Structure 1
Amino acid sequence: MKRWTSFLLHLAMIVILTSFGSYTLDRKEVRQVPDFLRVDSELTSKLPQITEHYFDQPVVTPPFLGSSYNGFKDALAFKESQGRYDVVNTLGYLGKYQFGLSTLNLMGVYNADKFLRNPALQEVMFDTNIARNKWILRRDIKRFKGKRINGVEITESGILAAAHLAGAGNVKKYLRSYGKDDVADAYGSSISYYMKKFAGYDISAIQKKRNPRV
Structure 2
Amino acid sequence: MIKKYLVGLLMAGAFANANESVFSEVKNIISHMESSGRSGIVNSRGFLGKYQFGAMSLVDIGILSKSNYKSLTYTRPTATRKAKVFWRNGLSLNGFLNNPMNWNVTGGKSAFLSDESLQDEAMDRLLRLNTQRLEARGFDLSDPSTAKSLLIASHFGGVGSASKYAQYGSEYSDAYGTKISKYFKAGANSSKVSKNVQKEDDYSSLLNVNTWKIERE
Shorter-chain TM-score tier: 0.5 to 0.7
Task: Decide which of 179, 187, 191 is 1:198's aligned counterpart.
Answer: 187
Q: Which residue of 2 aligns with 1:210?
A: none
Distance 2:114 2:182 in 1: 30
Q: Which residue of 1 aligns with 2:41?
A: 87
Kindly report the root-mean-square deviation, in angstroms, between the aligned alpha carbons of the 2 structures.
Answer: 2.6
1:114-153 matches, cutoff 5 A = 114-138=111-135, 139-142=137-140
| Paired residue secondary structure (1:167) | helix
Distance 2:140 2:110 in 1: 38
More helix by share: 2
Give the % identical residues.
35
Question: How many residue pairs get matched?
Answer: 127
**Is the contact between residue 165 and residue 191 of structure 1 (CA under 8 Å) also seen in structure 2?**
yes
1:1-214 matches, cutoff 5 A = 69-109=23-63, 110=103, 111-138=108-135, 139-142=137-140, 155-177=146-168, 179=169, 181-199=170-188
C-alpha displacement at 1:190, in angstroms?
1.7
C-alpha displacement at 1:71, in angstroms?
3.3
| Paired residue secondary structure (2:171) | strand
**Is the contact between residue 76 and residue 97 of structure 1 (CA under 8 Å) also seen in structure 2?**
yes
5+ unaligned residues in a row in structure 2: which ranges?
1-20, 64-102, 192-217
Distance 1:129 1:201 in 2: 20
Give TM-score, length-normalised by structure 2: 0.52
| Paired residue secondary structure (1:88) | strand
State the AA in 1 paired with 2:54: G
Query: Which protein is bigger by CA-based radius of gyration?
Result: 1
State the AA in 1 paired with 2:52: Q
| Paired residue secondary structure (2:177) | coil
Structure 1 runs (4+) greater than 4 angstroms displaced: none
Tell me the alpha carbon deviations over residues 152-198 of structure 1, each in whole angstroms, 9 at most, x when there is no partner: xx611001000000000111222232x0x210122332221111112
Tell me the alpha carbon deviations over residues 93-135 of structure 1, each in whole angstroms, 9 at most, x when there is no partner: 0000000122112211123222111111100000110000000
Q: Which residue of 1 aligns with 2:86?
A: none
Give TM-score, length-normalised by structure 1: 0.53
Q: Which residue of 2 aligns with 1:25?
A: none
State the AA in 1 paired with 2:167: R
